Each structure stands twice: as C-alpha cells, then as structure tokens.
C-alpha cells in the first residue's frame, strides 16, 4: 500500500506534468476555421404530409445531404450503407426526410416503444445548432417505425439529455430497400435569433446502424483529436421569414387518486383513504424567440415513472435519485455546474413554480422560483450524511447566468436560496470553462454559503447553532486528443458549507485526483474497435488532514464484436472512518453485449475490502449486478436487473442483500402502452455480529409493484391510469401490505 507521502509526491508529479503540457500549449481560444460542408436550404410553399411516403413535389426541390462518413467505430471511412437526407422549410416548420438504404432490410432493428427509448434500434436524425454558437444544440431522431427521440446537447459539459421534450411530427416506414423517415419540426418549438433575415445554423445528419458493431454514420467527418463536437458540424443557411409564432402553450391537468394505508403498521387493517382531486395548470410562453418562461400552478408532480430501486444497506451517504418531473427537467441544462449546487428534486411539494430560461446572443439566463409546502433538508458531513422532511414552508430560488466567449468557452454566475420560518440557506459563486486549444481545457468553480437552521433542528441533527458560512471550490484541467486523455482535479469543500438546493452529501474534505488514458483504435481489418489503458491516483482528506480515502486505479477496456465492451479495474485503496484506516483494495469488472436486437446482457462485479460502517470494522465484500434486456417481437420489452451484495467480517457473514427489479412493457402502438414494475428487496443479517443489534432487523423484505396504463398524444397531452402498492416484512412477520394507491391523470397541451 502506498503511503500518504508517496501518493502526495506522485500527485504533485502528475499535476506538474499536466501543467507543463498546458503551459507548452498555445494560449489561444480562437483557432483557425475548420473545413466543413455548407448547404443552402430552399423554401417550399407546397404542403407536406408527414406519412413517410415522400411523394410531395417539395421533396424534389429540397436540399440533399448525403451521409458519406462512418465516424464510429470507423474513423471517417466510407459509410457501409447509403443514406440520403432531404431538408426544406416553410414559414412554420423545418422538414427533414431520410432515405436509409439497407442491403438486408430484414436485419433492421426497430421496435414499437415509448418516446425517447429507441436508442438501441436503427434510427436517423438531425442536430440543429440554432444559435450557431457551437455550444448547444437540439437533436431530433426517429426510428424506422416513427418513434421519436429528442434531446438537448450541451457541448460545454459534454452532456446529452432526453429531459428536453418538443411537440413535433414524425413517421417511419420499412421498405424493400431499407426504411424512410419523415419529420416536421415547428419553429415555435425551437429557440433561435429572429428577425426575418437569412439564418445560419450548425447542422449534422446522423444515422445509427446497429449490427455486430453500432455504426455511426454522418454527413460531416469528425476529428477525434478535437474535444468539441458542435465546433465541427456543417452549416446550413436559409429560413428567411421563419416565424416562431407566439409560442404560448397551456397545459391544464386533472389529477385524482386515493391511498389506503395501514396507519399502525403492522397492526390493524388498511384504512381507506379519501379520494382527492386536484386541478393544475402549466403554462409556457416564448417571451422572445430565444427566451422562454414557464409557470406551474398547483402542479401535479406525482411519480408516474418509478425510481430505480437501490440497496441502502451499509451506505453512510444519501442515495441519489434523478429528477423525473417534466416541469423541472425542461431547461435544466442551464442550471448545471461542476459542483452539484442545483438539484430540483429538493423541491418536494410546491404550490406554484415559475421559471425563465434561454439565450440572447452570448448570454444565457435561467431563473427559477417555487413556493414549497414542505422542506427537505440534507445534513452533510465528511464521513456520513443524514436527511429528513419538515412541515414548514420555504421559498426556493435559483438564478443562473452564463456568458460565452472565445472558442466554446464560457463563464457563469450562480445564486441559490431557500427561505423559511427561522431557516435560510444561500449559495453564490462563479464558474467557468476555458477551452485553451482543441485538446486542452480548464474548468473552475468557487461557491460561498450562508445557512441558519431552527434551533430544534440543529440540536436534533447535531448541527452548529447560529449562522454557518463556508466556501467550496473546484479546479480542473483536462486534455483530450485522439489517442490520449489526461486530467487533474482538485476540490475543497469547507466543514460548514451547505448547498440545500443541491445534492452535496459530503462536505469537510479536500480531494485531489489526476490520471491518464491511452486509446488504440482498431482498423478495418482488426477484430477489435478500441482498446483503452488508464490509471488514476486520488486522495481525499478532511479539513484537519485526517485521511478519508486514497486510491490508485489501473484499468483496461476493450470494445469488440457483437456490440461488446469489457472493462477490468484493479484498485489499491484504503479508507478512513471514525479515526481508523481500512483496507479497501478491490477488483472491479464490467461487461456488456448486445448480440441482436432481441437480447442484451450486462454484468458489473466488485470483489474486495469494504468498511463495515455499522460496527466500524474491516470487511470483505462481493457485489454482483447482472442485467438482461429482451425485446419479444416489436411490441413487448422486458428488463430484469438484480443486485447481490454480501459483507463478511472476521466472525462470519454480516449480511446478505438481494434486490430484484422486473420491468415489463406491452406497447400497443407509438402512443399507448401498459407497464408492470416489480421491485423486491431481501436483506438477511446476523445480529450476533452487530454491536447494537436493536438498531437493525435480522431480516428485511420489501416489495413494490406498479401497474400503469399510458396514452400520449405528445409529451404533454397525456393520460395515465395506475395502481401501486408497498409490502414489508421482517423476521417476525411475513410480507404485509403497508399501503396501496390508485391514481389518474390527464393533461392536454393547447398551443396558441
């Protein structure tokens, strides 16, 4: 095991090497213009019917863009199949069509699934950088059966998210020659500078062709030595007179439900709850063509999409569950920063919420305010965290500003606030990304916080009395070229720093990490696509210098046939907890394979040392996470995940935990499906090995079930009807129903 002195010395050497590379690079943000194709998009005055037939005269005059390049796994090699993209527009829509030819149409992978879930199929689509700023873009994809997928691409953070949803039309049809896709994208669903003059947009046309390899085909070659994507795509000009319209959208909702609950679980019978009905309204207004306002009154934030269950045994920190509520997801990219200072799931039950987000020129703006009827608080620490919900109301607010400069660089400011009765938390700071060259970039963030808890809460959760204030900052460097990646990162989060509108369960630490990775790319004659070899060194300690974790990782990965990827990691590490140091050396592996459109398999495994946090002793753990995905015909999808974990200590097996999750969907058509979810948790503990056996159960069983009927005309005109229940058991009782719920929701989107 490396000593702290040795790790510190090696980190200084590696950081110094990274800084030397940075210092030897030309410090210019603007590089020479890259060669890229340019297309002129003609306007049509004739009507186009979205039916994947392409028999209108407008398509004969549309701009034709051929997809000639295989960019992955091949490196700008000739495309293995022919693909034509056709583009035109009128005053209301951008029209895009694809003719995707295939030598074996029977091999096309296409399934009837819910929107935003067909990424394992064949599909085609376009990327539109409507501000032509090479930083953000809208993406529209369609599979051969017309299933829509829309995303927002934030190239500054290298993040693509399906959380952004637009209302647009599409159709797909499999033919004897391949398949045809047709789409109409309304201008009022986009943001762009407007003035009626000719516009220039960034543009890429893409096709994914999954067989033994998942081949990416595009209209523009990609340079793997350049770390940005949108700075390389083609340009299209046209769209004179494009009319974004008033862009007013009203979505009234009606929600009804009833929950029956066993109040003194496990005693007594289920008590029938009262039926509750609520009306809500969500409004969206295009204040300008590039700035959008959202307002929600009495919004329904019921969890139609069930969270993926996680094992919470022997975990000292709060678990992360991603945001799934559409109101918060739209425009979420603008609030993203390197430190997780904004996590909208903290807003639990708002009476109302308002949001403004968008971009004007080089300036990006995001403002969010909500009146929450309850207040969720996360109490962080260096070694563990705690959380609870409180029945006092709070006003939650976020203000975000970002200014673009140079070549794909930006600087921003952030403020978050929560104000309640005898309570407040305020966070403010700046952050930035400076892309020094095509391969070198710097990222930073600095935040300060002020917090005050009510005295009773501070006492109950062992928090300091009076107002708290502290700082958090981050500095990172990254190098990304064709064959090499390198990085260095340093974080410092003060003991009394709190970000109650974010998700930062750990504070009171200093963390440094640095590493590298080398890639070998396979050629046309090689059986592999890519081989990677990397290493990372990191150390984390609290503000007094006490070790929290130090680790040295070495890994290798291999991408090969049948869409397979295998990864193996060796870790020399130790972890500090409550003044003791524990051996946490481990071996981890991950394997995924998708040999056909019908079947896919994943496996994650970890074997090695682990801390027993309940009893503060050394343990040895095994964790296995297999996952299977099946497509049975075009309409049935099934996914089974299982997590197995065991922890052994010197005296024997401390616990064995199993978590199984089954998700079964029958998709009647593109708009309608029925889904069943079952989540089962079983934990067995040996109480004789616990220092405080009264705090844990010898056996814990939980089962959650949900049945959902869904009908979607578009992302906001929806109907849901569902049933769910929870059952619990332990060593004294069998699984017993704790509660059950039925719910109904209908929403209709009016576009004015």
Token pair 């952004």 in the structure block, residue:
164
Helix or strand (DSSP H, E) at 5: helix 4-23
Residue 703 near residue 726, CB atoms below 8 Å: yes
DSSP string across 48-106: ---SS---STHHHHSEEEE--EEEESSSSEEPSS-EEEEEEE-SSEEEEEEEEE-S-GG
Q: How many CB atoms lie within 10 A of CB 487?
A: 19
Q: What does the buried/exposed string (b/e) look like for 635-669 if buried means 16 or more CB atoms within 10 Å of the residue's CB? A: eebebebebbbbbbbeeeebbbbbbbbebbbebee
DSSP 43: B
Q: What mean pLDDT, rounded, does the chain reach?
A: 91
| 300 vs 692: which has the higher pLDDT | 692
Closest CA to 538 of 525, 546, 524, 549: 549
pLDDT digits (tens, 9 = 90+) for 95-142: 999 999 999 999 999 999 999 999 999 999 999 999 999 988 999 999
Residue 557 near residue 517, CB atoms below 8 Å: no
Task: Give the phi and the psi of residue 419 in degrees, each rounded to 5.
Answer: -125, 125
In the chain, which segments carry CATH 2.60.40.1190?
31-238
pLDDT digits (tens, 9 = 90+) for 556-588: 999 999 999 999 999 999 999 999 999 999 999
d(CA 327, CA 354) in angstroms, rounded, equals: 9
- Kindly give, in sequence order, each residue whose CB lies less than 8 Å from that of residue 228, ignoring residues fewer than 6 positions away: 134, 155, 408, 435, 438
Closest CA to 400 of 370, 375, 365, 430: 365
Q: Quote the pLDDT of residue 227.
A: 86
Token pair 């064995």 in the structure block, residue:
656
Token pair 């919004």 in the structure block, residue:
299
Q: How many CB atoms lie within 10 A of CB 154?
A: 17
d(CA 369, CA 501) in angstroms, rounded, equals: 11
DSSP string across 531-575: EEEEEEEEEEE-TTS-EEEEEEEEEEEEEETTTEEEEEEEEEEEE
Give the N- to C-terminal CA distance of the chain in Å, as an integer.
Answer: 66
Tell me the whole-structure pTM to 2 decimals: 0.89
241 pLDDT tier (thresholds 50, 70, 90): confident
Instruction: Tally the C-alpha atoms within 13 A of residue 495's C-alpha that lie toward its C-beta.
Output: 7
CATH number for the 31-238 domain, one of 2.60.40.1190, 3.40.50.12780, 2.40.160.60, 1.10.10.10? 2.60.40.1190
pLDDT digits (tens, 9 = 90+) for 344-394: 989 988 899 999 988 888 898 999 999 999 999 999 999 999 999 999 999
292 pLDDT tier (thresholds 50, 70, 90): confident
Torsion sign across C-alpha atoms 306, 214, 111, 119: positive
Q: Quote the pLDDT of residue 301.
A: 56
521 pLDDT higher than 90: yes
> Strand pairing partners for 625?
604
The answer to which of 80-84, 187-191, 295-299, 335-339 has the lowest mean pLDDT is 295-299
Cis before 745 (ω within 30):
no
pLDDT digits (tens, 9 = 90+) for 243-277: 776 678 899 999 999 999 998 898 888 999 999 99
Q: How many CB atoms lie within 10 A of CB 483?
A: 11
63 pLDDT higher than 80: yes
Q: What does the buried/exposed string (b/e) look like for 366-394 if buried means 16 or more CB atoms within 10 Å of the residue's CB? A: bbbbbebeebbbbbbbbbbbbeeebeebb
Reduced to 3 states, what is the DSSP secondary structure of residue 686? Answer: coil
Q: Is 589 left (phi over 0), alpha (psi -120 to 50) or beta?
A: beta
DSSP string across 569-620: EEEEEEEEETTEEEE--EEEEEEEE--SSSEEEEEEEEEEEEEETTTTEEEE
Q: How many CB atoms lie within 10 A of CB 634?
A: 13
Q: How many CB atoms lie within 10 A of CB 421?
A: 11
The vertex-504 CA angle with 498 and 507, nearest 5°, equals 65
**Cα-to-chain-centroid distance, residue 260:** 34
């Amino acid at each position: 095991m490396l000593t702290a002195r040795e790790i510190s010395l090696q980190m200084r050497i590696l950081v110094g090497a990274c800084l030397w590379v940075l210092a030897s690079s030309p410090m210019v943000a603007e590089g020479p213009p890259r060669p890229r194709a340019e297309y002129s998009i003609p306007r049509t005055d004739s009507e186009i019917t979205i039916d994947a037939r392409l028999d209108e005269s407008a398509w004969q005059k549309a701009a034709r863009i051929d997809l000639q390049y295989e960019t992955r796994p091949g490196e700008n090699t000739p495309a293995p199949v022919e693909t034509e993209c056709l583009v035109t527009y009128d005053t209301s829509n951008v029209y895009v069509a694809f003719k995707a030819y295939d030598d074996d149409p029977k091999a096309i992978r296409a399934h009837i699934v819910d929107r935003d879930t067909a990424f394992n199929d064949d599909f085609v689509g376009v990327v539109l950088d409507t501000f032509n700023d090479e930083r953000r873009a809208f993406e529209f994809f369609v599979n051969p059966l017309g299933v829509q997928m829309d995303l927002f691409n934030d190239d500054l953070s290298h993040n693509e998210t399906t959380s952004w949803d637009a209302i647009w039309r599409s159709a797909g049809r499999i033919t004897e020659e391949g398949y045809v896709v047709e789409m109409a994208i309304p201008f009022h669903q986009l943001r762009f500078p407007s003035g009626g003059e000719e516009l220039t947009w960034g543009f890429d046309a893409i096709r994914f062709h999954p067989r033994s390899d998942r081949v990416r085909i595009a209209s523009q070659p990609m340079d793997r030595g350049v770390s940005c994507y949108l700075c390389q795509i083609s340009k299209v000009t046209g769209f004179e007179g494009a009319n974004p319209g008033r862009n007013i959208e009203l979505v009234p909702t009606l929600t009804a439900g009833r929950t029956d609950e066993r109040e003194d679980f496990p005693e007594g019978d289920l008590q029938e709850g009262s039926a509750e009905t609520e009306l809500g309204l969500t409004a969206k207004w295009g204040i300008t063509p590039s700035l959008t306002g959202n307002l929600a009154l009495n919004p329904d934030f019921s969890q139609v999409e069930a969270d993926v269950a996680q094992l919470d045994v022997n975990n000292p920190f709060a678990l992360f569950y991603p945001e799934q509520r559409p109101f918060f997801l739209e425009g979420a990219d603008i609030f993203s920063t390197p430190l997780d200072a904004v996590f909208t799931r903290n807003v639990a039950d708002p009476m109302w919420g308002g949001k403004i987000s968008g971009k004007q020129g080089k300036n990006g703006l995001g403002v969010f305010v909500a009146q929450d009827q309850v207040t969720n608080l996360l109490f962080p620490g260096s070694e563990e965290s705690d959380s609870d919900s409180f029945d006092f109301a709070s006003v939650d607010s976020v203000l975000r500003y970002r200014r673009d400069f140079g070549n794909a660089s930006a600087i921003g400011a952030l403020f978050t606030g929560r104000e309640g009765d005898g309570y407040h938390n305020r966070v403010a700071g700046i952050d930035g990304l400076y892309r020094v060259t095509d391969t070198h970039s710097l990222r930073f963030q600095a935040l300060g916080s002020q917090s005050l808890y009510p005295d009773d809460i501070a006492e109950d959760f062992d928090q300091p009395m009076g107002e708290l204030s502290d700082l958090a900052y981050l500095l990172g460097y990254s190098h990304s070229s064709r064959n090499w990646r390198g990085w260095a990162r340093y974080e410092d989060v003060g003991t009394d720093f709190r970000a109650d509108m974010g998700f930062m369960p750990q504070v009171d630490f200093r963390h440094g990490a640095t590493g590298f990775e080398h890639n070998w790319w396979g050629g046309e004659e090689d059986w592999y696509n890519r081989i990677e070899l990397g290493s990372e060194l990191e150390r984390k300690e609290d503000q007094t210098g006490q070790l929290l974790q130090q680790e040295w990782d070495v890994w290798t990965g291999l991408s090969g046939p049948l869409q397979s990827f295998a990864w193996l990691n060796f870790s020399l590490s130790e972890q500090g907890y409550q003044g003791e140091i524990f051996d946490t050396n481990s071996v981890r592996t991950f394997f995924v394979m998708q040999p056909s459109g019908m079947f896919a398999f994943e496996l994650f495994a970890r074997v090695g040392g682990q801390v027993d946090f309940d009893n503060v002793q050394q343990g040895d753990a095994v964790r296995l996470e297999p996952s299977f995905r099946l497509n049975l015909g075009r309409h049935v999808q099934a996914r089974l995940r299982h997590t197995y974990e065991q922890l052994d200590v010197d005296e024997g097996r401390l616990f064995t935990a199993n978590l199984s999750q089954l998700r079964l969907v029958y998709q009647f058509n593109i708009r309608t499906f029925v889904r069943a979810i079952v989540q089962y948790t079983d934990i067995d503990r040996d109480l004789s090995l616990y220092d405080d056996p009264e705090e844990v159960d010898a056996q814990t069983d939980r089962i959650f079930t949900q049945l959902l009927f869904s009908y979607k005309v578009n992302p906001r005109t929806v109907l849901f009807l569902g049933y769910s229940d929870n059952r619990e058991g332990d060593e004294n009782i069998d699984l017993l129903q704790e509660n059950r719920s039925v719910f109904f929701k209908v929403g209709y989107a009016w576009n004015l």
